[in-house]
A and B are shown apart, each in its own frame.
Chain A
């Protein structure tokens, strides 16, 4: 049995809107092994993003427990090294060029040295953007921006990548390419992947396909 990188038990999350309570997650259990890829599908508004934010430690669950690599510490400092995230709308920093955006992930952990710079260049080469390293996000296409974001997510050699509809803003062809790239680099590096997607074809490429329905993973 492979090592467990992510373990969530009975995660519940309610939102208060006015007087009405909205139970988005009602006890989610999820275990992800090292190197494993898991897809999560579900209707819009079913709580996929909410779940991913809980798993990332960006938001706190009302009840339930969360462990990263068997440790309950899901704080800010540990997040930088333990997991990488990819979002639907890229979230690159517009003032920084592609290389600097990738390096930013390392910079937040420590002042980057030659090794980190080399790794950023290597990752850009891996995602096919070696020639675009000095381009600003505004000079890149959507697919290229998302590839930069993938490289950034991998920068700190995380154990786990959480991707929230990474192809949502891309056309079908580009989306397919990004998903193939994401799955390939995760496989090469032994990084676990939790992929939220609406696309059945993309979901089928993962090791395990889950559905979020009525606040529970199926």
Chain B
């Protein structure tokens, strides 16, 4: 090991019993920044990951839509399933409806499912409580959890459903009777946005309510695991007739994902300042050390040490603080992630805010998904910033002339 690295290590961790206080504080500062970055980017990544999982679980990776409606959805499905990488496809009809339950109105989104094929695309059955997906028939509905609770409706109750067809009928002075549908289950996915306001019924019931006849609004497509979504979308687009387009789930939720990514980028940038502030404290500690060690720096010159190596000695101290801080920070960060739900629960218990917390996070559990690239970025940036923190002290040390340094009191 070159002498300046050796001395850098020795100055950070002196031999003997003396606890390296300055080193510990500096390393801890950097470590806290790294730990925060790891925890926050992982949790933010977890949101994205969970949302992806939920969307894909309920709607498949790809959605195929026409500009109006898909008259010949069976033919389109046949073409789609012959595309390599596609495992299954299911048609759906969807649109807003008005619901009245005991004089209480709600305006949820209706989703008509094709019971024959839905299992192969979306495993909705496992999210249904108080009933089964198979109980669904043309006179039945399943409510999303929050819709059920805001209406105060239970399984076994009956709802009145009005569709936009009412406007056409009224124009023609026809009578419109709402459709009475029986609640046979409650569907709870675990994400607030997805659970908020949806009504599930059979495809046929939805077709009736929307006057679609034998047509559908779109097709949900499930891909083989590991198939690239964008490539699959391109293949499907080549296979389907004109006027019909395939979209990946990322396209469909691009606004939402864009906001999520923006938030993540902003938070990353802001938390990086914790590392930068820690780096400033490293700089000031090292500057103090340069002043305190002026005579030793002079001695190193007298022993034949080159000024650039003296500089390297202080730069290396910044580097080492960065490396140790990063290692400790990763340990702290991943440790905190491992017990994150306990931490959240403990905080919730102390503040008695479990409900608020759940609503705020939109998940029953705090998700986490750590991206290797982001961890590499955090590690790289932290080490670079810490090394830069050593630059100013290093420059001061290198500028000291041995004679003047030795003469200083």
A and B assemble together: yes
Bound-state Cα–Cα, A97 to B16, Å: 9
Whether the Cβ atoms of A85 and B302 lie closer than 8 Å is: yes
On chain A, the residues within 8 Å of B2 by CB distance are 111
On chain B, the residues within 8 Å of A140 by CB distance are none
On chain B, the residues within 8 Å of A59 by CB distance are 401, 403
Whether the Cβ atoms of B303 and A97 lie closer than 8 Å is: no
Within 8 A of A (CB), among B14-32: 14-16
Whether the Cβ atoms of A95 and B14 lie closer than 8 Å is: yes
Interface stretch among A72-80, A113-121, A192-200?
A72-80
- Decide: A96 near B302, CB < 8 A? Known: A87-B406, A91-B406, A111-B2: no
- Decide: A93 near B3, CB < 8 A? Known: A53-B403, A80-B304: no
Whether the Cβ atoms of A105 and B15 lie closer than 8 Å is: no
The verdict on B361 contacting chain A, using a C-beta distance below 8 Å, is: no
Shortest B296–chain A CB gap in Å is 6
- Decide: A105 near B10, CB < 8 A? Known: A96-B15, A100-B15: no
The verdict on B306 contacting chain A, using a C-beta distance below 8 Å, is: yes
- Decide: A93 near B304, CB < 8 A? Known: A53-B403, A100-B10, A107-B6: no
Shortest B20–chain A CB gap in Å is 9
Whether the Cβ atoms of A81 and B403 lie closer than 8 Å is: no
Bound-state Cα–Cα, A109 to B300, Å: 11
On chain B, the residues within 8 Å of A85 by CB distance are 302-303
On chain A, the residues within 8 Å of B14 by CB distance are 94-95, 136
Beta-carbon nearest neighbor of B402 in chain A = A58
The verdict on B301 contacting chain A, using a C-beta distance below 8 Å, is: yes
On chain A, the residues within 8 Å of B309 by CB distance are 108
The verdict on B11 contacting chain A, using a C-beta distance below 8 Å, is: yes
**A99-141, CB under 8 A of B: which get 1 and which 0?**
0100011011101000000000000000000000000100000
Bound-state Cα–Cα, A153 to B309, Å: 20
The verdict on A56 contacting chain B, using a C-beta distance below 8 Å, is: yes
Shortest A152–chain B CB gap in Å is 8
- Decide: A76 near B11, CB < 8 A? Known: A91-B299, A91-B406, A108-B3: no
**B281-325, CB under 8 A of A: which get 1 and which 0?**
000000000000001101111111111010000000000000000
Bound-state Cα–Cα, A113 to B6, Å: 14
On chain A, the residues within 8 Å of B305 by CB distance are 76, 80, 108
Whether the Cβ atoms of B10 and A108 lie closer than 8 Å is: no
Shortest B408–chain A CB gap in Å is 11
Within 8 A of B (CB), among A177-200: none
Shortest B97–chain A CB gap in Å is 76
Contacts across chains A and B counted by CB atoms under 8 Å: 76
Whether the Cβ atoms of A77 and B302 lie closer than 8 Å is: no
Bound-state Cα–Cα, A95 to B18, Å: 10
On chain A, the residues within 8 Å of B1 by CB distance are 111
Bound-state Cα–Cα, A122 to B362, Å: 72
Shortest A104–chain B CB gap in Å is 7
Bound-state Cα–Cα, A48 to B23, Å: 40
On chain B, the residues within 8 Å of A109 by CB distance are 304
The verdict on B71 contacting chain A, using a C-beta distance below 8 Å, is: no
Shortest A47–chain B CB gap in Å is 13
The verdict on B332 contacting chain A, using a C-beta distance below 8 Å, is: no
The verdict on B7 contacting chain A, using a C-beta distance below 8 Å, is: yes
On chain B, the residues within 8 Å of A136 by CB distance are 14-16
**B382-404, CB under 8 A of A: which get 1 and which 0?**
00000000000000000001110
On chain B, the residues within 8 Å of A95 by CB distance are 7, 10-11, 14-15
Shortest B37–chain A CB gap in Å is 32
Shortest B181–chain A CB gap in Å is 80
Bound-state Cα–Cα, A108 to B303, Å: 7
Shortest B73–chain A CB gap in Å is 76
Beta-carbon nearest neighbor of B3 in chain A = A107
On chain A, the residues within 8 Å of B16 by CB distance are 97, 136
Bound-state Cα–Cα, A87 to B301, Å: 13
Shortest B86–chain A CB gap in Å is 63
Whether the Cβ atoms of A104 and B3 lie closer than 8 Å is: yes
**B364-384, CB under 8 A of A: which get 1 and which 0?**
000000000000000000000
- Decide: A97 near B304, CB < 8 A? Known: A58-B403, A87-B406: no
- Decide: A93 near B406, CB < 8 A? Known: A77-B306, A109-B304, A111-B1: no
Shortest A96–chain B CB gap in Å is 6
On chain B, the residues within 8 Å of A152 by CB distance are 303
On chain A, the residues within 8 Å of B401 by CB distance are 58-59
On chain B, the residues within 8 Å of A56 by CB distance are 302
**A14-58, CB under 8 A of B: which get 1 and which 0?**
000000000000000000000000000000000001000100101
Bound-state Cα–Cα, A122 to B145, Å: 83
Interchain CB contact (< 8 A) of B301 among A58, A97, A105: A58
Shortest A171–chain B CB gap in Å is 22
A-B contact pairs, 5 of them (CB 8 A): A49-B407, A87-B406, A93-B10, A95-B10, A95-B14
User: Apart from A53-B406, A87-B406, what are 11 other A-B pairs with CB-CB below 8 Å?
Assistant: A53-B403, A58-B302, A76-B306, A79-B302, A85-B302, A95-B10, A95-B11, A95-B15, A96-B15, A104-B3, A111-B3
